[in-house]
Structure 1
Amino acid sequence: MKLTFNIDYLTAYGEALVLNIISGEATAKAERHPMETLDGRSWTCSLSRTVKPATYIDYYYSVERRGSEARREWDAMPHRLEFANSRSACHVMYDKWIDMPSDALLYSSAFTECVARRKRELSAVADFGKMIRLKVRAPQLRAGQRLALAGSGPYLGNWLKPAGLRMAEHTPNEWVVSLDASKIDRPFMEFKFVIAGNDNDNIIMWEDGANRTVTLPDMKAGDVVTYELLQAEFGISLWRGAGTVVPVFALRSGGSYGVGDFGDLKAMVRWAASTAQHALQVLPVNDTTATHTWRDSYPYSAISTYALHPQYTDLRQLAPLKDAKRREHYERLRQELNALPQVDYERVNAAKTGYLRELFAQEWQAVSRRVTYKRFFEANRQWLVPYAAFCHYRDKHGTPDFSRWTGHERPDDGELKAMANPQTKLYKEVAFWYYVQYNLDMQMREVHELARDMKVILKGDIPIGVSRTSVETWTQPRYFNLDGQAGAPPDAFSANGQNWGFPTYNWNEMMADGCLWWTQRLGKMAEYFDAYRIDHILGFFRIWEIPADAVHGLLGQFVPALGMTREEIAAYGLQADTGRLTKPYITDSVIEALFGERADEVRSTYVCPLDDGYAMRPEYDTQRKVEAAFGEKPSEADTRLRDGLYALISNVLFVADRTDANKLHPRIAAQTDMAYAALSDRDKTAFNRLYDDYFYRRHNQFWYNEAMRKLPLLGRATRMLMCAEDLGMVPECVPWVMNRLNILSLEIQTMPKESGTRFAHLSHYPYLSVCTMSTHDTPTMRAWWDEDHERAQDYFTTMLHHDGTAPHPMPGWLAKDIVERQLMSPSALCILTLQDWLATDEKLRLADAGAERINIPANPHHYWRYRMHLDIEDMAQDQQFNASLRALIDGSGRRQEG
């Protein structure tokens, strides 16, 4: 069969178009076919292929310049060519170049598989002598709706056919109709697209604008001509939805085991659907088990980017233990742990792991023979075997630090191969971890499918980093800079910045294989979720990298960044010695101000004289050395002394570039320290100008280019809806990239992005955003209200437009007022914390608002243990509360449809 592809695209000199045919294998390279042109605008390519009716090929176009790809179409939704005519001999396609549309979120699986889920099917195979096929995209349609065609002439129904000619949705949001060209009795067709009900013949809406026309080409027997048309336009308001965010570990039901599990998550999906919500967002659910202590409760420090956390296993869905005494033992333990107000991470995980090991001994022989298990193992063995090996050696050596695994500091390919062979001893030693992950995978998939059935978008969370001691750093160290620490500069969460302890990424290595590490990671996540939050998207522009010998974040620098030469610094008029400004500024007055009555102790023990001041003694000249000297649990007085020494060490105006000793970076927030205060007024002015240029202007285009190398690859890896956490010190280029790639921003009214404002104006939020009032990193709405009465009064008066004195604590009616206003924002999604929803009901909410806090970012050793104070069953049965939520959501125009 002859296939001819035609497209109009105006190229520049030296550019050429390429047709890329996609195979069924996700990892396979596209089949490239150079195209031809006579005028640099009209491009064509003809191929001969053997095809069968009822099959199809997908393809996209790209622009090539000097032998490499310069640009490509939006290939998340490629062109589709169906072979839908049993008598076809020649197919001719007239295509249009497809860029990412402004409504790209409607093509995400969050919409096509959840909110507007419809049954899709290929066109029925026809037996026409000559066929015209029309393709059009109509992403505005909701569930229960279909596209049809109505037009002039008897064959097209003379505009009168009640529901037009039925079209087939053969790929998400793209509809196609096959027409018998011999029955069209004029040289052109005049028509419009209409929206019809799926179960009736009524036209719901006609397409906007003038009638469409297509002139029929000269055709011979066996010809099929396909026209790809401009998107259908309908007067439908923008979709907006509401949802809840809650950590899985925080869920509580009558049958859970002291921590939320995937069975509880199912119950939350049902509750969300019953209250007209469209989204349920969770925190990361990957395994964080490193030390088997409460420190592993931090969900953003995973030991595997694939493995799910064993604590989320719903034991109720597994076979019961046959031993009655052991069964009774675990049931008593379950009831005891489930009655606790917070998660006891260590006891819960010890109990659930113990239960799973006993159940493994009882059930493994049967489970290992299941077809579903064998399929799971084969589909996941690439990450599953190294994960099992990591867990095995972690427990065998009593540490996750693989540098201390004598003989196993690096993975042994022979041992990994043996661990994948059921006949070996090593396989039997690690099979427990296969069993655990198999159960978790099945349970999480069931949650995902239930959410899709109920039209609830399940939204996951992608941490920006991985644990320094993780499967990935053990097996793929080339992707990481293990000599640095990722974190964040000072912000509203922490005056000293945040040190997350993660290694930073070696982006040169990651880009060398097209970000395969990221695309595979996202591909796995898409098996469980239809939307995701990119934690700290700023890290894809630049990451805040902190030296390995630093404790807090002030001594970090952005990577990559354009360091400054000493000549550049001098050109700003800074007259101070730049060599001296990279060393801590320590004088008697500084020591007296920081340490008071312990100043003499500092002078005699921690510093030594240098010129007209002091330097840190070698044994205390880094924050890590100071940390080690004071131990894990210093007294309150010694903690103040230690923190003062940290501040002394970071009292510099510049930090040295991590790779080029001849370049410097101004120290973040240096104006708050005494090294800055000691400058002359002239030098302060010069430093301020240099500082502002460096942090707010120097890198905009540079960081834009960095992000555009990485984020498009992530965006095309899956069709999950991409949402970003874009808080903090946000460069001007961040919204440029997010707008171009249709990534949803995060908008929090109490953390405005407009400088000089105290509160954000809800009406100014962009449509492509997620609106919320609090997050897991902030106080809840109620706690925030009582933190600062003056601030609350300002909000009460200027944002809520109420008279009088703001009430404290926050009454339910006021919480409902704030929630209602959040819901009315233009944002595509309004996703509130469960605590903020509950705040609207004074009878249901937790009495102590402070006990609802999930995380305190300023504390790097925070214990993540918050749990709901009531069972999901009780919340779901509270008719008054749920009716109130439905009314709020209905009134805002965010209710469920279809």
Structure 2
Amino acid sequence: MILRFTLPFRTVWGQRLVVCGSLPSLGQWNLDQALSLHYNSDYGLWSQEISLPDDQLGQMAYKYVLLDERDGGKHWEWGPNRTVSYDAQRFTRIVLEDFWRPAAQPENELHTAAFTKALMRRAAPTQPAPTHPATGSVVRFQLSAPRVDSNHQICVLGSDPALGAWDAQQAVVLSDTEYPTWCADVTLQNPEQTAQYKYGIWDPQERKILHLEAGEDRLVYPSPDQRTLRVKADDNFRYSTGNWRGAGVALPVFALRSRRGLGVGEFPDLKLLVDWAVASGLKLVQVLPINDTVATHTWVDSYPYAAISVFALHPQYLNLDAIAELQDRAAREELEQLREELNAKDFVDYEPVMNAKWKFIRLLYQQEKARFLADPEFQAFRAEQESWLAPYAAFSALRDRFQTADFSQWPEEFQTPERVAELTDETSPNFDETGLHFFTQFHLDKQLREAVDYARQHGVVVKGDLPIGIYRHSVDAWTQPELYHMHQQAGAPPDDFSLTGQNWRFPTYNWERMAEDGYAWWKQRMGTLARYFDALRIDHILGFFRIWEIPGHSVEGLLGHFSPALPFSQHEIEQRLGWFDYGRLCVPYIRWHMLPGIFHGQAQQVFDEFMVADEYGAIQLKEHVRTQRQIEQVFEERIAADPSNTDHYKWLRTGLYKLVNEVLLVPDDQRADFYHPRITLHLTQSFRELDEPSSHRLRELYVDFFYRRHEEFWREQGMVKLPPVRYATDMLICGEDLGMVPESVPGVMKALGILGLNIQRMPSDPNVEFGHPGSAPYLSVVSPGSHDMSTVRGWWEEDREKTQRFFEHTLGHYGQQAPPHCEPWVAREITAQHLNSPAMWAIFPLQDLLAMDSGLRRSDAQAEQINVPANPTHFWKYRLHLNLEELNAAQSFTQEVNQLVEHSGRAQTY
């Protein structure tokens, strides 16, 4: 039996193609032993044949690889492994007529779970047509086409009578058994003639072709060989209607409000939001991180980006009624009373909500314990998730036993996870401490998967959120501390959210150690997320290129530096600056004339208490307040002792922080005599008081460092770290790429098929004040805002001059006065502008959609903002002011959204 590979592909000198696959003759996936193809320059065709035993029946997998001898590049074609089944009893020859599958094509993203499992899901596969004995030339028409509505099919129509002789009623319907690949074996009646054909979208109810693909006819060339199977592995369906585009809504799960909740949104509430999305023509529901953040049992835990486990789900999202009914009547009555009290609040009252949840979870656990532990479904869940579930349960039990998540404060025998097996043993006398968390996680998992499955059945994608960092006192840090730099802090450089940068206080990643096992932790993390989501937002994707690393002694972010980076050596600084003085460049620059501007009339008092001056007038902070962390400690003690003067102490603390930041170079923490320019150094008093030649040269150094020096270096970092994460699952991946974005980032994201984010108020183009959704590339998400911003209504009232410019130049109302508030018609224009964008997705915070309806939107626009990044002690308590049941009943508003979506073309599959 002969198997022939053919692939049309134009190469240049030094390039060649090979086939690598599962058979010994294909190298058994060893690229060094792959099958080399021969090139026919007249036809631009690569081909080669191999022999298979005549009595063999089986399947093989393979892929094409482009080898570039000029630079040693090994470029595997995009997509999953190709497969072909062979039966030597039916065929003596198989000819594979393939096409190269290039990476970085927009169509590739249609193969992700968002499309294959939700938007275009196949409820019941179409059975293939019965196969007939191979008495002639059989052509297997094989098309990869995920973009087919759930109720439609792919068909092939052509000139040969076996293909309908161009009679649309006689088109051959392909099977979707291997969806998104469609397939049908056809024995041509006139194999000695060239046959023309095209694929079409088939409506099985109407039994007609809805769309015949655009472009020239495809061709099957003559081949009268008997007992030959030709596999026409065709490229993409050629839609005449342009790219697929969809619209979605964003709201954190905790912000969902329903009548059955307990003061906070719960996983089953997602079904109500899906119902509204379907009625509105929206095809995606986006949420914030949902992992467990319970570290202190206080309001601090409301921050959703500080998970104690990147795998476990947050207990606040558990719906108690879905587990079982409480058998104790008094407990049932108490639960109903608490539900009424907590649901009446206009915000998530985190601590009372969690106290109530834990109380009734414990009651349900004791009530259901025997049945739960014997449940085969739980036993299967535990066995499957054991690697993270057991350490999490043990960690949570120890956190509560010792009243802290900081495992360094636990007794020595528990500071490492050596006793996890003992703590989670069902025969242990203290098993209930961990059993409670097995119980909670099992039901959380069950309820979330039910909600996501409901969304998929209704053609709605659920999009999750992956935080870039891990919490310092987490299960992950407890079990695998070698994966993180625990002495460092991750954050973000100054931006529109915070002028002093953001310090998330998370440890940074030890990427070198993670690479040693092929990024196994990341792959496991992504796999767990894919259990629940078909699309994913990667928070601060820039962290895969470089993270803003802040020394442990800093509170604010200004003294951080990018990591990895290429710091300047002292010698290079001396050459480019003309001098080097550690005391002038790296020690806080403090002079008396600066103090009155910061501390006003208290300058002398502050100086006397916290500073000393040398004989030349240079001032230093005293030993006990040299770092921001020392200053923080001093003032935490004063605030605790004298809370009535809290505001005054915070004001003094901020002033001292400012003085610590007055440096021009930040020493590298890995190599002596290497330095990073301090971010925004041109805003310091230290810079302003340099002589003109020095300030000019230092600014040049700064620009080179932040905008030129690292571009190729960071591109390489992204191309090493991102692919294992990107390709760990089939989720549609979107990256939050806001802020100080290196020029290399968009190219890497495009190459990996990762969608970028376009926020109108944070344009990527530094030359424009406002981005225009109409300028967004296809592989992107456009949105009027995010959870870290004020809503459109809130922003409208922040800066009247800026709003006026936006009203005239972006919305097109030239010469007109902008209304003082964001009126419903203004919100509607902004929504329509985003919907008409060429971007794949337009996703709206629900608050911004409700802004279009004066009767539904919240009265206080400022109360709609979810997070304030500039405030490190912000509590996350936003809650939708409407019950989702009310939202679903608001038919006129729902219809308005639906009409806008329909008019934009985002409701159609084709």
Residues 534-553 of structure 1: matches in 2 within 5 Å?
534-553=538-557
Q: Alpha-carbon deviation of 1:228?
A: 2.1
Q: Alpha-carbon deviation of 1:388?
A: 0.5
Match of 2:153 among 140, 146, 149: 146
1:202 aligns with 2:208: yes
Distance 1:399 1:70, change over 3 A: farther
Residues 101-250 of structure 1: matches in 2 within 5 Å?
101-118=105-122, 119-120=124-125, 123=128, 126-129=131-134, 131-180=138-187, 183-217=189-223, 219-221=225-227, 223-250=228-255
Match of 2:478 among 470, 474, 477: 474
Distance 1:660 1:722, change over 3 A: same
**How far apart in 1 are the matches of 2:5 and 2:473?**
51
- Counterpart of 2:408, as a letter, is S
Distance 1:14 1:296, change over 3 A: same
Alignment partner, residue 642 of structure 2: none
- DSSP 3-state at the match of 1:501: strand
Distance 1:605 1:169, change over 3 A: same
1:493 aligns with 2:497: yes
Post-superposition CA distance 1:548-576 (Å, at most 9, x none): 00000000000011101122223333545
- Counterpart of 1:605, as a letter, is E
CA contact (8 A) 1:486 1:504 kept: yes
Match of 1:345 among 326, 347, 350: 350
Structure 2: tracts of 5 or more residues without a match: 41-45, 640-644
1:745 aligns with 2:744: no
**How far apart in 2 are the matches of 1:76 and 1:386?**
35
- With 880-889 and 862-871 compared, the bigger mean Cα shift is at 880-889
Match of 1:866 among 878, 891, 902: 878
Alignment partner, residue 460 of structure 1: 464
Post-superposition CA distance 1:568-599 (Å, at most 9, x none): 22333354525530111111112233222222
Q: Alpha-carbon deviation of 1:689?
A: 1.1
Residues 330-729 of structure 1: matches in 2 within 5 Å?
330-413=335-418, 415-419=419-423, 421-425=425-429, 427-575=431-579, 577-578=581-582, 580-610=584-614, 612=616, 613-631=618-636, 633=639, 635-729=646-740
Distance 1:519 1:4, change over 3 A: farther
CA contact (8 A) 1:277 1:895 kept: yes
- DSSP 3-state at the match of 1:787: coil
Q: Alpha-carbon deviation of 1:732?
A: 1.0
**How far apart in 2 are the matches of 1:769 and 1:38?**
37
- Counterpart of 1:666, as a letter, is P
Q: Alpha-carbon deviation of 1:72?
A: 4.2
CA contact (8 A) 1:287 1:302 kept: yes
Distance 1:730 1:561, change over 3 A: same
Residues 24-103 of structure 1: matches in 2 within 5 Å?
34-37=33-36, 39=38, 42=46, 44=48, 46=50, 48=52, 57-62=60-65, 70-74=73-77, 76-83=79-86, 87-88=90-91, 91-100=94-103, 101-103=105-107
- DSSP 3-state at the match of 1:503: strand
The two structures have a TM-score, normalised by structure 1, of: 0.94
- Counterpart of 1:233, as a letter, is R
Alignment partner, residue 875 of structure 1: 887
- With 326-335 and 211-220 compared, the bigger mean Cα shift is at 211-220
Q: Alpha-carbon deviation of 1:57?
A: 4.8
Distance 1:576 1:32, change over 3 A: closer
CA contact (8 A) 2:255 2:879 kept: yes
Post-superposition CA distance 1:511-567 (Å, at most 9, x none): 222222112111111111111111001111100000000000000000011101122
Alignment partner, residue 26 of structure 1: none
**How far apart in 2 are the matches of 1:450 and 1:52?**
44
Q: Alpha-carbon deviation of 1:611?
A: 5.5
**How far apart in 2 are the matches of 1:763 and 1:455?**
26
- DSSP 3-state at the match of 1:259: coil
- With 772-781 and 98-107 compared, the bigger mean Cα shift is at 98-107
Alignment partner, residue 837 of structure 1: 849
**How far apart in 2 are the matches of 1:586 and 1:49?**
84
**How far apart in 1 are the matches of 2:469 and 2:48?**
45
Q: Alpha-carbon deviation of 1:618?
A: 1.8
**How far apart in 1 are the matches of 2:390 and 2:86?**
42
Q: Alpha-carbon deviation of 1:87?
A: 3.0
- Counterpart of 1:840, as a letter, is M
CA contact (8 A) 1:122 1:169 kept: yes
Alignment partner, residue 766 of structure 1: 777
Post-superposition CA distance 1:198-226 (Å, at most 9, x none): 333212222222222223446454x4332
Alignment partner, residue 314 of structure 1: 319
**How far apart in 1 are the matches of 2:32 and 2:440?**
46
CA contact (8 A) 2:115 2:147 kept: no
Distance 1:30 1:439, change over 3 A: farther
Distance 1:302 1:687, change over 3 A: same
Distance 1:308 1:122, change over 3 A: farther
**How far apart in 2 are the matches of 1:227 and 1:664?**
59
**How far apart in 1 are the matches of 2:15 and 2:287?**
49
The alignment's C-alpha RMSD in Å is: 2.6
Alignment partner, residue 804 of structure 1: 816
Distance 1:256 1:140, change over 3 A: closer
Q: Alpha-carbon deviation of 1:11?
A: 8.5
**How far apart in 2 are the matches of 1:824 and 1:173?**
28
Distance 1:885 1:480, change over 3 A: same
Alignment partner, residue 43 of structure 2: none
Alignment partner, residue 20 of structure 1: 21
CA contact (8 A) 1:84 1:123 kept: no
Match of 1:251 among 253, 256, 259: 256
**How far apart in 1 are the matches of 2:757 and 2:210?**
35
Q: Percent identity?
A: 38
CA contact (8 A) 1:244 1:272 kept: yes
CA contact (8 A) 2:483 2:513 kept: yes
**How far apart in 1 are the matches of 2:110 and 2:615?**
66
Distance 1:812 1:113, change over 3 A: same
Distance 1:20 1:616, change over 3 A: farther
Q: Alpha-carbon deviation of 1:825?
A: 1.8
**How far apart in 2 are the matches of 1:558 and 1:305?**
24
CA contact (8 A) 1:402 1:408 kept: no
Post-superposition CA distance 1:109-147 (Å, at most 9, x none): 111222222344674562422533232233443332322
- DSSP 3-state at the match of 1:315: coil
CA contact (8 A) 1:574 1:687 kept: no
- With 527-536 and 610-619 compared, the bigger mean Cα shift is at 610-619
- DSSP 3-state at the match of 2:817: coil
Q: Which ranges of 4 or more aligned residues in structure 1 deviate by more than 6 Å? A: 49-53
* Residues matched between the structures, number: 888
The two structures have a TM-score, normalised by structure 2, of: 0.93
**How far apart in 1 are the matches of 2:56 and 2:826?**
64
Q: Alpha-carbon deviation of 1:92?
A: 4.3
Distance 1:246 1:762, change over 3 A: same
Post-superposition CA distance 1:171-204 (Å, at most 9, x none): 44322221226x4442543322222213332122
Distance 1:657 1:804, change over 3 A: same
**How far apart in 2 are the matches of 1:467 and 1:51?**
59
